[in-house]
Amino acid sequence: MNPYTEDQSQSIGSLGESKLIEQLKDWLGDAAPAAPFGMGDDCAVLPFPSPGAQQLVTADPIIYGKHFDAQVSPAQAAAKLMRRNLSDIAAMGGRPTHAIICLALDPKVSISWIEPFYKALAEEAKRFQCVIVGGDVSSADHFLGAFLTLYGETSAPHPPLLRHSAQVGSPIFVTGSLGGTRLKKHHSFIPRISEGQWLARSEHCLSCSDLSDGLGKDFANVLPPALGCEIDCSQLPIADDAIETAKSSGKDALYHVFNDGEDFELIFALKPGTAVDSFLTQWRKELQTPVTKIGYATSRTVSKAPRLSFKNAPQSLSANGYEHLR
């Protein structure tokens, strides 16, 4: 949906800031607590974290023209905003607690875009059991962006799942399937919160992250700088939509697995020597989400050797992930 309107009476500019904020509060409903625990004072006062828990924070925006466009509904944009942040909390093994949303938008943005956007934010917050405690609305010319800061906490006594902690020989896994994001998944993915929490409770997990910039870049998230990893391309869980995308892109489906961003699946490494079969049996008993072992962490005997090596790869495989700001 095109977020802009030329009809001044249908624009947020016709409301003015105070009235717009009243509306936003209304649309959020019980996803937004009353002041001082929500909007309406100079700051929001927050619930104290659970005893022994560790607090987590992450921040990612969605910007019109970059992260979504006129083909995307306001509800899909809202889901993407919440879920890309939820995915970061999931990657640390946490559960979300509260969110702060800053809008920067042109006064020509239409009320009929912002209303379903906020109502969907409220739905998302309720679905994933967090509250929206505050934020800000600023005007900006020819711009529409929503900047979310999301808090979460770990379950005591389990520490957060960190990046870069795999060891040589660590088996490496991914959840779900990869490479299908160009077709639709980047608006409808499910953040792997239960899976992250399950891994944080497990004794086996050494390192975890989420795949946002493509496996070809984000494999490094679970590795210390000195280590590499070998991925068995024949084992990769290729999304049906990656195969579909490859038909029109003229590239191999694996290209999309390695280079397309926004899978928002978890990548994690277990302790070397973990009994993989019994780990998988346990996972499948308690979780529905598919999980696949894709390779293992390796030492690099030559320090300039590429960090990513392949088994069963096609001859020419470009696998650098997605680079922003280029």
Contact between 227 and a second copy per CB under 8 A = no
**Alpha-carbon separation of residue 249 from 211, 242, 254, 261, 291 (angstroms):** 21, 10, 12, 15, 27
Choosing from 28, 72, 79, 100, the residue that interacts with a second copy (CB under 8 A) is: 100
Contact between 92 and a second copy per CB under 8 A = yes
DSSP string for residues in 156-179: TTPPPPPSS---TT-EEEEES-BS
Choosing from 138, 235, 278, 312, the residue that interacts with a second copy (CB under 8 A) is: 138
Choosing from 1, 31, 44, 215, the residue that interacts with a second copy (CB under 8 A) is: 44
In whole angstroms, give the CA distance from residue 211 to residue 219: 8
Choosing from 33, 74, 160, 176, the residue that interacts with a second copy (CB under 8 A) is: 160
Choosing from 23, 25, 75, 104, the residue that interacts with a second copy (CB under 8 A) is: 104
CB contact set of 26 (below 8 Å; sequence gap of 6+): none
Q: Which is nearer to a second copy, 18 or 71 (CB)?
A: 18
Considering only 26-34, 62-70, 186-194, 288-296, which stretch makes contact with a second copy by CB under 8 A?
Answer: 62-70
Q: Which is nearer to a second copy, 106 or 244 (CB)?
A: 106
- What's the full length of the chain, in residues? 326
Count of residues interacting with a second copy (CB under 8 A)? 64
Contact between 94 and a second copy per CB under 8 A = yes
Binding mask 161-190 for a second copy (x = CB under 8 A): -xx---------------------------
The SS3 of residue 52 is coil
CB contact set of 204 (below 8 Å; sequence gap of 6+): 270, 271, 274, 279
Q: Which is nearer to a second copy, 91 or 308 (CB)?
A: 91
Choosing from 56, 205, 227, 308, the residue that interacts with a second copy (CB under 8 A) is: 56
Could you say which DSSP state residue 110 is in? B
Tokens at 206, concatenated: 């050494």
Minimum CB separation from a second copy for residue 280, in Å? Answer: 24
CA-based max dimension of the chain = 67
Tokens at 139, concatenated: 């005007």
Choosing from 1, 20, 172, 223, the residue that interacts with a second copy (CB under 8 A) is: 20
In 92-249, alpha helices (H):
111-127, 186-188, 193-201, 215-218, 240-249
Residue 39 · residue 32 · CB < 8 Å: yes
Contact between 259 and a second copy per CB under 8 A = no
Backbone angles phi, psi at 132, to 5 degrees: -100, 110
Choosing from 2, 30, 66, 281, the residue that interacts with a second copy (CB under 8 A) is: 66
CB contact set of 104 (below 8 Å; sequence gap of 6+): 138, 139, 140, 143, 144, 145, 147
In whole angstroms, give the CA distance from residue 34 to residue 82: 21
Binding mask 192-221 for a second copy (x = CB under 8 A): -----------------xx----------x
Could you say which DSSP state residue 302 is in? S
* Chain position carrying tokens 């947020």: 12
Please state the residue numbers annotated as binding site for ATP.
Answer: 118, 135-136, 163, 212
Choosing from 2, 8, 16, 127, the residue that interacts with a second copy (CB under 8 A) is: 16
Binding mask 23-42 for a second copy (x = CB under 8 A): ------------xx---xxx
Can you give the binding site for a second copy, defined by CB under 8 A?
12-13, 15-18, 20, 35-36, 40-46, 48-49, 54-61, 63, 65-67, 88-89, 91-92, 94, 100, 102, 104, 107, 133-143, 145, 147, 149, 152, 160, 162-163, 209-210, 221, 323-326
